């Protein structure tokens, strides 16, 4: 798998991003979480590689090495329940992950990443985020606390569990 690079670019549809923000604001005292669905766009001015792995055994096929020169387009999201219900960490429920994989495949997409909120901190991966992240996926962190509401950062995780920033371009 190709490692994520600083120059990776991600396009996120405005309605998808709006849904993520609304989800984070709906529970500002707790980490919310969800799944990002999308695909690699055929038109890409960015030459850096990006590879995806399927998180569900027998689920969506990984995107092939032939697609590494394409830009990632995040087109949809699936809200999940934080089954831990905690302020400083989250865990997706397996049923939602499986349903998101089915939804992605039905739309010709893949699970391309995950999002969660940080109620009281900046949208920077925490030590817990670093330990639990899956390489090859996009992680979007949005702040939901009162004084930092709306800040957002995207991150790719490389094979050494290092988070690399991802440029997020908002598209209609």
CATH of domain 9-171: 3.40.140.10
- Helices vs. strands in the chain: H and E counts, helices first: 3, 7
Ramachandran bin of 35, using left for φ above 0, alpha for ψ from -120 to 50, beta for the remaining angles: beta
What pLDDT, on the 0 to 100 scale, is given for residue 55?
A: 43
Query: What's the rounded mean pLDDT across residues 48-67?
Result: 44
Which helix (H) or strand (E) is 110 found in, with range? strand 110-118
Q: Percent of the chain having pLDDT more than 70?
A: 76
Domain boundaries, the chain: 9-171
pLDDT per residue over 136-167, tens digit each?
A: 889 999 998 766 567 889 998 877 778 888 88
What pLDDT, on the 0 to 100 scale, is given for residue 147?
A: 64
Inform me whether the pLDDT recorded for 132 exceeds 80. yes
- 94's tokens: 């397996």
* CA-to-CA dists, residue 6 to 30, 156, 165, angstroms: 29, 9, 6
Helix (H, G, I), strand (E, B) or coil at 119: coil
What span, in angstroms and rounded, lies between the C-alpha atoms of 64 and 135?
Answer: 16
Neighbours of 14 (CB within 10 A): 10
The residue ranking higher by pLDDT, 111 or 3, is: 111
What pLDDT, on the 0 to 100 scale, is given for residue 160?
A: 79
Q: How far is CA 131 from the centre of its chain?
A: 16
């Amino acid at each position: 798998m190709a490692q994520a690079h600083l120059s990776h670019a991600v396009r996120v549809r405005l309605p998808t991003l709006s849904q993520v923000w609304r989800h984070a604001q709906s529970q500002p005292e707790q980490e919310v979480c969800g799944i990002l669905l999308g695909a690699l766009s055929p038109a890409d001015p960015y030459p850096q590689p990006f590879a995806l792995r399927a998180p569900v055994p027998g689920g969506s096929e990984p995107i092939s090495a032939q697609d590494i020169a394409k830009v990632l387009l995040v087109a949809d999201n699936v809200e999940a329940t934080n089954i831990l219900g905690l302020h400083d960490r989250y865990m997706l429920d397996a049923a939602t992950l499986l349903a998101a994989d089915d939804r992605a495949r039905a739309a010709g997409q893949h699970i391309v990443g995950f999002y969660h909120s940080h109620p009281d901190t900046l949208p920077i991966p925490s030590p817990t985020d670093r330990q639990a992240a899956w390489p090859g996926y996009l992680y979007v962190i949005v702040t939901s606390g009162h004084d930092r509401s709306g800040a957002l950062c995207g991150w790719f995780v490389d094979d050494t569990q290092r988070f690399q920033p991802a440029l997020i371009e908002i598209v209609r």
